[in-house]
Amino acid sequence: MENMGSFYGMFVDPCSRACRVILIWCCLSILVHSSLGSKTRHFKWEVEYMYWSPDCIEGVVMGINGQFPGPTIRGHAGDTIVVELTNKLHTEGVVIHWHGIRQLGTPWADGTASISQCAINPGETFVYRFKVDKAGTYFYHGHFGMQRSAGLYGSVIVEVGEGEREGFHYDGEFNLLLSDWWHKSVHEQEVSLSSKPFRWIGEPQTLLINGRGQYNCSLAAQC
Ligand SMILES: [Cu+2]
C-alpha cells in the first residue's frame, strides 16, 4: 500500500499543483469579471394600508413607505437587490413576488406565500436578497390573498450591465403601470368571488395608469 501511495504521488502531485493554480486563477477571474461594476442596492420598505384617492373617490389602498404604487426599483444587470420588508398591516401576512426575476440560486426570495416562504406576519421583517441578472422591465406585486388588487405593486427596471451597450436606440423612456381599480374593498371582493353561489364583483370602476385614473364622480352614489 505504501508503494501504491508513492506511485500515485509521483503522477498526481506535479500536475495537480499546476492545475490548482490554473483553476484558482480561472475562478478568480470569473469572480472579478462577474462582480465588476455590479452593486448591491438596499431598500427599506414598510407595507401598510392607507387612505388614498386613486381616482376621485377616497378609499383604502395598500402602499409601501406611504406611496402607491410602491417605489420603483432600479438597477443594472448583475446587481444584487436587498429589500428589507416590514409588515405594518395589523391583521394580515404579506409577501412580495418579483415578477419575471429568475431567482437563480435564490428560490427562497421568490415571494410566494406557503410555497417559497411563510407569509411575513404583522410586525415582522423579512429580507429579500436576489440578483437581477437580465436587463428588462419587470414588476413586483403582493402574492398573498388579494393584496395585488389592493394596490401592492410597483416597477422593477433593470438596465444593461455597467459598461455594456443596449442593442437598439430610443429617444425616451416611459414607465407605465396599468391596473384595474374597484371601489369595493378587496375584502368584499374576496368574499364575493369565493362565495357559493359565486357573486360577480362587476367590471372595475377605473383603469389606473401609474396609480391614477379618472372616474365620473357623479356616478359615485351608484357604485
Ligand atoms: Cu406575478
The chain-wide mean pLDDT, for the chain, equals: 88
Answer yes or no: is 222 within a domain: no
* Rounded distance from Cα 18 to ligand 1 centre (Å): 48
Residues 50-87 have pLDDT tens digits of 999 999 899 999 999 999 999 999 999 999 999 999 99
Answer yes or no: is 203 within a domain: no
* Rounded distance from Cα 19 to ligand 1 centre (Å): 45
* Rounded distance from Cα 124 to ligand 1 centre (Å): 23
Answer yes or no: is 156 within a domain: yes
pLDDT at residue 12 tops 60: no
Task: Provide, rounded to the nearest whole percent, the portion of the chain with pLDDT above 70.
Answer: 81
Answer yes or no: is 25 within a domain: no
CATH number of the domain where residue 104 is located: 2.60.40.420
* Rounded distance from Cα 137 to ligand 1 centre (Å): 13
* Rounded distance from Cα 141 to ligand 1 centre (Å): 6
pTM confidence score? 0.80
Task: Give the pLDDT score at 111.
Answer: 96
Q: Which candidate, 28, 30, 32, 9, places its Cα nearest to that of 20? A: 28
Residues 178-217 have pLDDT tens digits of 999 999 999 999 999 999 999 999 999 999 999 999 997 6
Answer yes or no: is 89 within a domain: yes
* Rounded distance from Cα 113 to ligand 1 centre (Å): 12
* Rounded distance from Cα 167 to ligand 1 centre (Å): 27
Answer yes or no: is 207 within a domain: no
Total domain count, the chain: 1
* Rounded distance from Cα 53 to ligand 1 centre (Å): 25
d(CA 213, CA 221): 18
pLDDT band for 168, please (50, 70, 90 cuts): confident
Answer yes or no: is 198 within a domain: no
Answer yes or no: is 200 within a domain: no
Range of the domain at 132: 40-164
pLDDT at residue 156 tops 90: yes
* Rounded distance from Cα 160 to ligand 1 centre (Å): 22
Task: Give the pLDDT score at 45.
Answer: 98
* Rounded distance from Cα 97 to ligand 1 centre (Å): 6
* Rounded distance from Cα 172 to ligand 1 centre (Å): 26
Task: Give the pLDDT score at 7.
Answer: 42
